[in-house]
Structure 1
Amino acid sequence: MAPESKDGYVHIERAHHIATISFFHPQSNSLPAALLQQLAFSIEEEGENIDSHVIILRSAGEKVFCAGASFTELLAIETEEQGVAFFSGFARVINAMRTCPKLIIARIQGKCVGGGVGLAAAADYAIAVEGAQVKLSELAVGIGPFVVGPAVERKMGTSAFTQLAIDAAMWRPADWARRKGLYAELHNDMAGMDDSITRLATSLAASNPQAMQELKKVFWKGTEDWDTLLPERAAISGRLVLSSYTKAFIKKFKEQQS
């Protein structure tokens, strides 16, 4: 595992045809632009690595899988171009997960917020632990889950996506997320979750890579327009993040955290 740093990291470990991509950020595993770029690149890299048959996506720590966008960077955005560039980072990560020819298992060891829900939804198989609550907080921030929305809606259905998007302040329990299809499995503790991830990853690592690649194409059929759709959605968020409402919300939130 890579050492912790104030800027966070994305790290890849490879063993027995399993590639484990880990990310960390000291602010609840939030994702600034640099980490989004590294994460997308790592997924793309492992997609092309013939020695990697399956990918595990995980984050460091225990309480939070991913807090979504970095509020520090959101507050620093001053132009629409900067906003579009930032949210395009999430679009690239989700599209990288979608087009990666390897099956991706997400290890959800804690809460998912905003873009974190998008990562869980873009995984091919998410295994979580009790306590891995979910929330799409974007509307409360003054924007909306535009970029991650297609992935969440595809995985959970329009009704569940609508509930998450509208009631942006409410945490939904992990069992709700499992029943709605976001999580394929839900375990009582971390040990049970990790045992199941190891079992599945080991089984897939021994499977035919070509068969899994073809199967993934079937899973994601109908999403070919996401190459243009997600950047278009990023443009909406990039414009809204400049609103006085969003600036005031983030500033107040950061003051409460300090």
Structure 2
Amino acid sequence: MEGPVQLSRRGRLLVLRLHRPEAHNAIDSAMLLAIDAALDLAEADPAIRTVLLEGNAEVFCTGLDLKAALGGGDGPMDPAAAERGARQYLAVLRRFTRSPKIIACRVAGRCEAGGIGFVAAADFAVAEPGASFRLSEALIGLLPATLMPFLIRRVGFRTAYRLTLAAPLLGPAEALTAGLVDAAGPAAPEALRHLLLGSERVPERTVGAAKAYFDALAPITAEMEECAVGRISSMLADPEAAARIRGLMAQGVWQGGRAMTP
């Protein structure tokens, strides 16, 4: 049986392909556990220098699997379950920023909501010609709370605020302008190759030291993390938000085949 993350080795590169096609690569606990296990594998192998996270040609990741999270009833998400999920997701993002391995994201399709958190926490990210990006949470009455400390650190406060409230759909060039990715368009694969070749010349201990130093300069504090977890947990447990999410899913515009529009 195929898992939610497929692994392949390419020399010094470990590729993690998100593989939940039936759920448009939405995030669930099993996916986060699989990413965490893959990082364990990479960090135990000195021959691996880089971990590359990717999706498929249509979808990179559409964020939290809200259909599974809300369950089959008509009420909101259980607050304790919401908190556990938020902490698990945050821990993976935090691990990206602390791993002595280079973490990169290659986005070829849709990247929405929590999928942007993976990009924001990565060391490098590229957007291929078919990529699109949207922080869509506000459109359903939520906020991208858990990923926000990482996004602010990547693109700055004002851009993160605009992407949250306006929820614009960004193409590759716009994502590059926003600072969300490091290269975009047809040149993205070659740009990623050069980024990774350059970083692989840096000793692993120096990579880890650089991450620790920059984290000290622009820290994501325990207080920030608790604020993020508390905010998204309370919102997911809100009946009004749950009703709106279910309505959008019934229309097929949330984690479905059609793009969300404001």
TM-score (norm 2): 0.85
User: Is the CA contact (8 Å cut-off) linking 1:44 and 1:96 kept in structure 2?
Assistant: no
Shift of 1:81: 0.4
Q: Which residue of 1 aligns with 2:171?
A: 173
Work out the CA distance in 2 between the residues paired with 1:82 and 1:43: 24
SS at match of 2:170: coil
What is the identity, as a one-letter code, of the residue corresponding to 2:200? A
**Percentage of matched positions with identical amino acids:** 20
User: Is the CA contact (8 Å cut-off) linking 1:133 and 1:173 kept in structure 2?
Assistant: yes
SS at match of 2:125: strand
What is the identity, as a one-letter code, of the residue corresponding to 1:13? S
After superposition, the Cα gap between the structure-2 partners of 1:242 and 1:17, relative to the gap in structure 1 and judged at 3 Å, is same
Q: Which residue of 2 aligns with 1:30?
A: 26
What pairs with 1:35-46 in structure 2 (closer than 5 Å)?
35-46=31-42
Work out the CA distance in 2 between the residues paired with 1:194 and 1:148: 25
What is the identity, as a one-letter code, of the residue corresponding to 2:151? V
After superposition, the Cα gap between the structure-2 partners of 1:213 and 1:219, relative to the gap in structure 1 and judged at 3 Å, is same
User: Is the CA contact (8 Å cut-off) linking 1:142 and 1:243 kept in structure 2?
Assistant: no
Work out the CA distance in 2 between the residues paired with 1:225 and 1:151: 8
SS at match of 1:197: helix
After superposition, the Cα gap between the structure-2 partners of 1:184 and 1:19, relative to the gap in structure 1 and judged at 3 Å, is same
Which one of 191, 199, 203 corresponds to residue 204 of structure 1? 199
TM-score (norm 1): 0.86
SS at match of 1:179: helix
Tell me how many residue pairs correspond in the alignment.
Answer: 248
Work out the CA distance in 2 between the residues paired with 1:106 and 1:56: 6
After superposition, the Cα gap between the structure-2 partners of 1:165 and 1:134, relative to the gap in structure 1 and judged at 3 Å, is same
Residue 50 (structure 2) pairs with residue 54 (structure 1): yes
User: Is the CA contact (8 Å cut-off) linking 1:91 and 1:231 kept in structure 2?
Assistant: no
Deviations along 1:212-251, whole A, 9 cap, x unmatched? 3323333433455445532441222111112122211221
Q: Which moved more, 1:8-17 or 1:221-230?
A: 221-230
User: Is the CA contact (8 Å cut-off) linking 2:93 and 2:121 kept in structure 1?
Assistant: yes
SS at match of 2:180: coil
After superposition, the Cα gap between the structure-2 partners of 1:220 and 1:49, relative to the gap in structure 1 and judged at 3 Å, is farther
| Structure 2 gap ranges (5+) | 257-262
After superposition, the Cα gap between the structure-2 partners of 1:44 and 1:167, relative to the gap in structure 1 and judged at 3 Å, is farther
User: Is the CA contact (8 Å cut-off) linking 1:127 and 1:184 kept in structure 2?
Assistant: yes
Q: Which moved more, 1:116-125 or 1:240-249?
A: 240-249
| Structure 1 gap ranges (5+) | none
After superposition, the Cα gap between the structure-2 partners of 1:14 and 1:204, relative to the gap in structure 1 and judged at 3 Å, is farther
